[in-house]
Amino acid sequence: MEHFRDKVAIVTGAGSGIGRELAHGLARAGAQLAITDKNQERINQVLKEVKDMGVKAHSYLVDHSDFSAVNNFAKDFLSDFKSVDILCLNAGIGVGGRIEEYEIKDWELAIGNNLWSTIYMIHFFVPAMIRQGSGKILITASAAGLVGIPGMAPYCTTKFALVGLAEVLRTELARHNINVSVLCPGIIKTNIIKDGRIHMRDQSKQSQKPTIIDFYDQYGTEPYKVARDGIRALTKNRGVQVSPLNTWPLWILKRVSPSFYQFLTRKIWERLFPS
């Protein structure tokens, strides 16, 4: 982990979950940190935690779905740190429900927070990385960016886009000594469902959000394990990092037999959420 020492890292969406653990992992490796979130209380707490590890760190309240907010953050960051070596583009939100239940604002919420948030950061920071001739980028997508999951159309749309974006960047930026990895977590014990917009309802029209939250809390992987895999992906320059290990079979099944994967997921969907 010595190659992270004294490097400057930005971690977006660092107020909780995977972002918080990425910040912790990079701080333990000796990196200087710029951490962002749109929740002031959370980001203040994480700032204290990483500073207690003895590293230089600043926190910034940023809504990464807002172009002007990211522009202002870029200016503030450059006055504090001058340059960036590591970009962990982790900001995002969960949106779920049946396709007929979404309003256009649900799509806008998902695309703004999950996709535009990453595009804005790339726009403002990657040209400087190209000029300095080095850097590492970790984009947090999802297993839902590798396989289509019913009930998650806006979320899957954005996460598939992030996987494609990372693949393109990995090819384009290699000549500039910039490594790009995409992190694809499965079911993780984070705030993504609690903070997200979930429209799922049972046959009696009761919200399924509490049930889904309980499922994630019971079966979700601890986010530090995913962050550890993300940092390993940066260290070893892995293009795609699926995490945790129990997420791999789903992706492999989809790659080996897309038709069987779709048959299986359709049956599960129809059983869990009948019309």
For residue 10, which of 53, 45, 59, 51 has the smallest C-alpha distance?
Answer: 59
For the chain, percent of residues with pLDDT exceeding 90: 80
Lowest mean pLDDT among 79-88, 138-147, 190-199: 190-199
- Catalytic annotation present for 155: yes
> What is the tens place of the pLDDT at every residue in 89-120?
999 999 988 899 999 999 999 999 999 999 99
Distance between CA atoms of 217 and 95, rounded to whole angstroms?
17
34 neighbors 19 (Cβ within 8 angstroms): no
pLDDT band at 184 (very low <50, low <70, confident <90, very high): very high
Burial class, 196, CB count within 10 angstroms (exposed 0-12 / middle 13-18 / buried 19+):
buried
> What is the tens place of the pLDDT at every residue in 246-260?
899 999 999 999 999
Distance between CA atoms of 95 and 219, rounded to whole angstroms?
19
Neighbours of 72 (CB within 10 A): 13
Q: What integer is the mean pLDDT of 194-223?
A: 72
pLDDT band at 220 (very low <50, low <70, confident <90, very high): confident
Neighbours of 256 (CB within 10 A): 9
Domain ranges of the chain: 2-272
- Of the candidates 155, 216, 224, 261, the residue annotated as catalytic is 155
For residue 78, which of 10, 30, 144 has the smallest C-alpha distance?
Answer: 10
Segments in the chain forming alpha helices (H): 17-28, 40-51, 67-80, 104-110, 117-132, 153-173, 192-195, 209-219, 223-236, 248-256, 258-272
Helix-helix angle 17-28:223-236, to 10 degrees: 50
184 neighbors 247 (Cβ within 8 angstroms): yes
Q: Which CATH number fits domain 2-272: 3.30.365.10, 3.40.50.720, 3.40.50.2300, 1.10.3720.10?
A: 3.40.50.720
> What is the tens place of the pLDDT at every residue in 33-51?
999 999 999 999 999 999 9
pLDDT band at 214 (very low <50, low <70, confident <90, very high): confident
pLDDT band at 273 (very low <50, low <70, confident <90, very high): confident
Structure confidence at residue 205 (pLDDT): 65
Neighbours of 244 (CB within 10 A): 18
Higher pLDDT, 196 or 257: 257
